[in-house]
């Protein structure tokens, strides 16, 4: 006996509601347009140490997906905007994409969602007519792989598709996109998926020409005379974030769709901006994200949908310093590219939780780094960089193994640990990389290691010696033994004499 269509639709609706009725989560977006991107394994270690349970990738990078294997972290992968046309036109392309980027990693990697494109309607409008086809082709490929109940499919939308989001009760989607949005919502309803929304109160505030107070955008309590109330429903909105989410619910309702959960796939606040971006400050970014986390983790929905929590992904994990555009574009991350925290942030929302930080990050020489470049980097670190290189002198705990990679790793790390809070990076002309693995060995404890009480980590800083012929201080003389072997005895003798002064 076939079940009636209404029963199937009701069952899918129940599944979608149940999927979002558990405790709300805070996830993070991981962009990759940055200098010296940490290794996938280091990123996963960092995420696990902070108990981050959900991440969104903008593509389906194989190295990242392998790194997430055998973790409990839920991963959202992305079909890039460049891939949508082919996937929408050819079901075989969608099947190949799912087989290569999803089925190949499940169950080891916990992939639970696919974001098809990003803000397609407003960034690549010529692709809009084929978006629904791309969604359906990806879903059919998941059905063929028996993954359709585990992996949900949707497409992140910008707030720009709702021209007048306030008051929320009168918000509608732009009429020019009604056909495409209707197809999207019908797909979400039929498959029990959710509406992905990129909601940025930062832009809502900065483009409103002073209509809304800054405190409203930052989740701060407003005085009674400044409270924001929808004149039609008389619902009070304590934050612009809630109003934006409710605008999406009301816009869906205007097209006769209800109870499709909204998941915020991007939101955040930049920590720095240009001269015309006064609201982009560290203080505002810290306030916004701290209050956002508390808001999301209280497990309630917006005023019109109080029983549907707002699962949210913060934009983003790292400052993407290679991005073009305004200064703010490069400063949305909660971490600098070198792995240090832009500001203290507890991703669990609790006051007793450890703030996101990189205290376990070390800087070491890359295994395939060119020796000549390592020599230059070591010279600079022990000289101009003022790294404490005493522990890699002959007879000291980190002298052996006596090779340039080992000595460069120690010097790089000492510099990095002391200077990262001031913006120092782990790059050294591309010869260095960060790692969460403590490189200490035997009696050689690297700076920043828990065991750094016996070697270089706690050596008192060397007084700057006389300037050497190589430039910098006398510490730099030890490097010449790699580059110019005939100077090694003289250099080492000079260093030993200086250390005895």
Tens-digit pLDDT profile for residues 67-104: 999 998 999 999 999 999 999 999 999 999 999 999 99
Higher-pLDDT residue of 217 and 492 is 217
Worst-scoring range by mean pLDDT, 380-384, 431-435, 476-480?
476-480
pLDDT of res. 225: 81
User: Does residue 323 surpass a pLDDT of 70?
Assistant: yes
User: Does residue 475 surpass a pLDDT of 60?
Assistant: no
Copy the structure tokens of residue 246.
């409710």
Q: Judging by beta carbons within 10 Å of its beta carbon (0-12, 13-18, 19+), is residue 375 exposed, middle or buried?
A: buried
pLDDT band for 481, please (50, 70, 90 cuts): very low
- Name the nearest CA neighbour of 313 among 80, 79, 118, 162: 118
**Euclidean distance between CA atoms 363 and 361, whole angstroms:** 7
Contact between residue 39 and residue 17 where contact means Cβ atoms under 8 Å apart: no
Worst-scoring range by mean pLDDT, 77-86, 102-111, 414-423, 457-466?
457-466
pLDDT of res. 7: 42
User: Does residue 273 surpass a pLDDT of 90?
Assistant: yes
User: Does residue 494 surpass a pLDDT of 60?
Assistant: no
pLDDT of res. 350: 54
User: What rounded mean pLDDT belongs to the chain?
Assistant: 84
pLDDT of res. 355: 52
List beta partners, residue 441.
444
Which residue among 74, 266, 286, 316 is the active-site one? 266
Angle CA 391–453–463, to nearest 5: 45
Active site residue 83: no
pLDDT of res. 469: 28
| Residues in contact with 18: Cβ distance below 8 Å, sequence separation at least 6, in sequence order | none
- Name the nearest CA neighbour of 289 among 340, 335, 227: 335
Contact between residue 474 and residue 498 where contact means Cβ atoms under 8 Å apart: yes
Copy the structure tokens of residue 164.
């007048």
What dihedral angle (degrees, nearest 10) is formed by the CA atoms of 189, 194, 195, 197? 180
DSSP state of 318: B
pLDDT of res. 426: 86
Copy the structure tokens of residue 135.
């969604």
CB atoms within 10 A of CB 49: 15
**Euclidean distance between CA atoms 265 and 116, whole angstroms:** 12
Model pTM score? 0.71
pLDDT of res. 35: 87
User: Does residue 378 surpass a pLDDT of 90?
Assistant: yes
pLDDT of res. 274: 95
Integer-rounded Cα radius of gyration of the chain: 27
pLDDT band for 235, please (50, 70, 90 cuts): very high
Which residue among 9, 74, 83, 119 is the active-site one? 119
**Euclidean distance between CA atoms 4 and 310, whole angstroms:** 32
Copy the structure tokens of residue 325.
């555009």
Higher-pLDDT residue of 430 and 257 is 257
pLDDT band for 450, please (50, 70, 90 cuts): low
User: Does residue 424 surpass a pLDDT of 80?
Assistant: no
Contact between residue 270 and residue 332 where contact means Cβ atoms under 8 Å apart: yes
């Amino acid at each position: 006996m076939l079940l009636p269509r209404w029963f199937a639709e009701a069952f899918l609706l129940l599944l979608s509601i149940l999927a979002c009725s558990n405790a709300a989560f805070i996830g993070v977006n991981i962009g990759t347009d940055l200098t010296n991107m940490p290794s996938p394994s280091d990123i996963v270690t960092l995420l696990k140490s902070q108990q981050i349970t959900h991440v969104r990738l903008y593509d389906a990078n194989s190295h990242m997906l392998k790194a997430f294997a055998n973790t409990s972290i839920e991963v959202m992968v992305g079909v890039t905007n460049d891939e949508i046309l082919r996937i929408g036109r050819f079901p075989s392309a969608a099947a190949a994409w799912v087989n290569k980027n999803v089925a190949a990693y499940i169950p080891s990697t916990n992939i639970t969602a696919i974001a098809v494109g990003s803000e397609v309607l407003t960034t690549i409008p010529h692709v809009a007519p084929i978006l629904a086809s791309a969604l359906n082709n990806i879903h059919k490929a998941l059905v063929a792989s028996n993954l359709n109940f585990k992996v949900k499919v949707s497409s992140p939308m910008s707030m720009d598709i709702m021209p007048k989001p306030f008051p929320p009760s009168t918000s509608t989607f732009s009429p020019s996109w009604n056909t495409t949005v209707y197809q999207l919502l019908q797909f979400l309803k039929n498959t029990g998926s959710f509406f992905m929304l990129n909601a940025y109160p930062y832009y809502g505030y900065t483009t409103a020409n002073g209509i809304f107070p800054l405190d409203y955008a930052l989740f701060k309590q407003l005085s009674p005379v400044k409270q924001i109330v929808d004149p039609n429903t008389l619902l009070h909105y304590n934050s612009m974030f809630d109003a934006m989410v409710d605008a999406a619910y009301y816009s869906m309702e205007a097209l006769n769709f209800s109870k499709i959960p909204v998941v915020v796939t991007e939101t955040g606040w930049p920590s720095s901006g240009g001269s015309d971006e006064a609201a982009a400050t560290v203080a505002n970014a810290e306030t916004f994200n701290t209050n956002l986390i508390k808001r999301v983790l209280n497990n309630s929905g917006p005023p019109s949908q109080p029983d549907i929590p707002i699962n949210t992904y913060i934009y983003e994990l790292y400052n993407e310093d290679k991005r073009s555009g305004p200064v703010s574009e490069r400063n949305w991350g909660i971490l600098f590219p070198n792995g240090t925290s832009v500001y203290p942030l507890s991703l669990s929302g609790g006051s007793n939780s450890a703030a996101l930080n990189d205290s376990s990050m070390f800087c070491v020489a890359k295994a395939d780094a060119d020796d000549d470049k390592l020599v230059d980097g070591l010279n600079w670190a022990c000289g101009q960089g003022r790294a404490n290189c005493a522990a890699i002198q002959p007879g000291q705990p980190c002298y052996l193994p006596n090779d340039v990679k080992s000595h460069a790793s120690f010097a790089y790390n000492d510099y990095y640990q002391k200077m990262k809070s001031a913006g120092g990076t782990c790059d050294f002309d591309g010869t260095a990389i960060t790692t969460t693995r403590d490189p200490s060995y035997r009696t050689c404890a690297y700076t920043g290691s828990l065991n750094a009480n016996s070697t270089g980590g706690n050596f008192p800083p060397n007084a700057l010696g006389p300037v050497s012929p190589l430039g910098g201080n006398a510490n730099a003389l030890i490097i010449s033994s790699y580059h110019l072997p005939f100077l090694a005895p003289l250099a080492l003798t000079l260093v030993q004499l200086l250390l005895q002064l």
